[in-house]
């Protein structure tokens, strides 16, 4: 195989893994191909803050030797992966996207990185993000992340680089972190698959988790099968994270049957057809429901009237949690060192009165209860992952100076993802088509707590019945100049 071939780097991780297992593809060849793409296009796309080229190549050579010797570890052995740069990596700097942490080198790996290494996967680099994993960054310390489908457009936040990298063929898969949509939104904007797992399904130990009651770690990949393989490797109880569950981890790949006949799918009215939704998104959503009907699923529209409150409730609670963690050592002492967007949002979170915070926490229970009640009558709930195609970078910065801007830039941008974060249920974003301008559109599938296999089952069946996952951005059209 040509080590510079886009066919190789855009191949699914599952297929790459099968070729490596069968000794038809060298892990070294794959790693060299990915590193060549990073070297050429990362100066524009800014997916990576740190690239571990030397160690990744050395580990690829070791993986090749092990596989030749009959010590194949499984489907991820020899595959490159990247991680959002808020996950600690031993001996490799972890910046959290902040200039203040440019020299921060941890002495340990996060639990999820330990697990991927144990599965034979190879860390290729640390991926760009909004400062401290918060949305709203205006001036990126390590370069403006750009959408590989159109570099003038937003790759979404806050796991921006973790969405760009698999979409651009820089890696076989990434890990991101999702509080209110920070995995699903970049997956949607970059035309790939991203999962927010059930809260407690994946250990957060070794990650810098400021949103303690909402943060989750999950995979971003090119296909649903790839996502299932990565989740299989990182899921499970970890005594170092007291909030991880002991609920058994199933074999997710077994759920990928392509058969969803008889499943009950709820189409959420308030999240699919609200005022302000882009007409191309609503048209794609109607087409997606027709595909699922054709696959034998029972489709019915359901209502979540409290879903609209998820956005302010999440901002009142998670933003307050994060601000409380950062108040003493960051906001008070490094105010001028932070990006303006970061410090403005954190300062607002720090000013939320305790009485308001506690009322909002109680109200979150009502939203969660409504979502869980709907899932008693449906196997999954579906809606768009985003109600508009990815916007231009300048237009999507969260400068809110009017009620109209609040509706468009804050509420509509979050309403699709926040209710499922608040319910702490698994939610999967996957390709649903493209706008007339060639920008990705995305379907979201949410399920019962710890029912990731059902979410994967529906997502995979839809994916295999549609052509969207087989389309990839043509990076050759990008002018290679530093961005």
Residues involved in catalysis: 84, 158, 182
For residue 475, count CB atoms less than 10 angstroms from its CB and return exposed for 0-12, middle for 13-18, buried for 19 or more. buried
Helix (H) or strand (E) holding 403: helix 403-405
Tokens of 290: 């027709």
Tokens of 27: 């892990």
Helix (H) or strand (E) holding 457: helix 452-464
Tokens of 101: 């942490």
For residue 168, count other CB atoms closer than 10 A to its CB: 31
Residues in the chain: 483
Phi and psi angles of residue 214, each rounded to the nearest 5 degrees, phi first: -140, -25
Helix (H) or strand (E) holding 186: helix 184-190
Distance CA 352, CA 82 (A): 35
Strand order in the sheet with 264-268: 48-51, 122-127, 80-84, 173-178, 216-221, 193-196, 427-434, 440-447, 380-384, 264-268, 298-302
Beta bridge partners of 150: 147
> How far is the CA of 225 from the CAs of 97, 115, 217, 407, in angstroms?
30, 18, 18, 36
Distance CA 366, CA 351 (A): 24
Q: Are strands 298-302 and 264-268 parallel, antiparallel or unpaired?
A: parallel
Asked whether the beta carbons of 389 and 281 are under 8 A apart, the reply is yes
Sign of CA pseudo-dihedral 432, 437, 439, 441: negative
Tokens of 154: 């937003």
Nearest CA-CA partner of 6 in 424, 460, 471, 481: 471
């Amino acid at each position: 195989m040509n080590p510079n071939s886009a066919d190789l780097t855009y191949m699914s991780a599952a297929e790459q893994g099968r070729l490596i297992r069968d000794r038809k593809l060298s892990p070294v060849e794959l790693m060299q191909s990915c590193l060549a793409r990073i070297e050429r296009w990362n100066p524009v796309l800014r997916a990576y803050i740190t690239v571990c080229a030397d160690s990744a190549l050395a580990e690829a050579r070791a993986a090749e030797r092990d596989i030749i010797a009959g010590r194949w570890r499984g489907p991820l052995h020899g595959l490159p992966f990247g991680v959002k740069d808020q996950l600690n990596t031993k001996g490799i700097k972890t910046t959290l996207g902040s200039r203040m942490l440019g020299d921060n080198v941890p002495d340990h790996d996060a639990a999820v990185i330990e697990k991927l290494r144990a599965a034979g996967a190879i860390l290729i680099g640390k991926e760009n993000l909004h400062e401290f994993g918060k949305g709203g960054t205006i001036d990126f310390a390590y370069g403006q992340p750009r959408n590989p489908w159109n570099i003038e457009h937003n790759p979404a936040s806050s796991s921006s680089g973790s969405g760009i990298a698999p979409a651009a063929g820089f890696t076989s898969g990434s890990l991101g972190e999702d509080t209110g949509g920070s995995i699903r939104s970049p997956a949607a904007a970059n035309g790939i698959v991203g999962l927010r797992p059930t809260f407690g399904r994946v250990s957060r130990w070794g990650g810098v988790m400021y949103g303690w009651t909402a943060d989750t770690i999950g995979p971003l990949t090119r296909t649903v099968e790839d996502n299932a393989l990565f989740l299989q490797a990182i899921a499970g109880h970890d005594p170092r994270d007291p909030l991880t569950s002991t609920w058994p981890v199933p074999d997710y790949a077994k759920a990928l049957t392509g058969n969803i006949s008889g499943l009950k799918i709820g189409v959420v009215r308030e999240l699919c057809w609200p005022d302000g939704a882009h007409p191309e998104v609503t048209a794609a959503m109607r087409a997606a429901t027709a595909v699922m009907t054709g696959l034998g699923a029972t489709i019915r529209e359901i209502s979540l009237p409290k879903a609209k409150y998820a956005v302010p409730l999440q901002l009142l609670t998670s933003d307050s949690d994060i601000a409380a963690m950062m108040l003493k050592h960051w906001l008070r002492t490094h105010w001028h060192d932070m990006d303006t967007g970061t410090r403005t949002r954190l300062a607002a979170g720090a000013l939320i009165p305790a009485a308001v915070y506690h009322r909002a926490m109680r109200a979150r229970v009502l939203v969660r209860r409504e979502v869980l009640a709907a899932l008693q009558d449906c196997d999954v709930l579906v809606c768009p992952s985003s109600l508009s195609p990815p916007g231009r970078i300048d237009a999507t910065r969260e400068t809110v100076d009017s009620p109209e801007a609040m509706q468009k830039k804050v509420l509509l941008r979050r309403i699709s993802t926040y209710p499922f974060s608040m319910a702490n249920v698994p939610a999967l974003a996957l390709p649903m088509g493209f706008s007339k301008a060639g920008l990705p559109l995305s379907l979201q599938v949410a399920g019962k707590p710890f029912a990731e296999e059902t979410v994967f089952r529906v997502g995979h069946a839809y994916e295999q019945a549609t052509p969207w996952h087989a389309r990839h951005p043509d990076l050759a059209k990008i002018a290679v100049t530093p961005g």
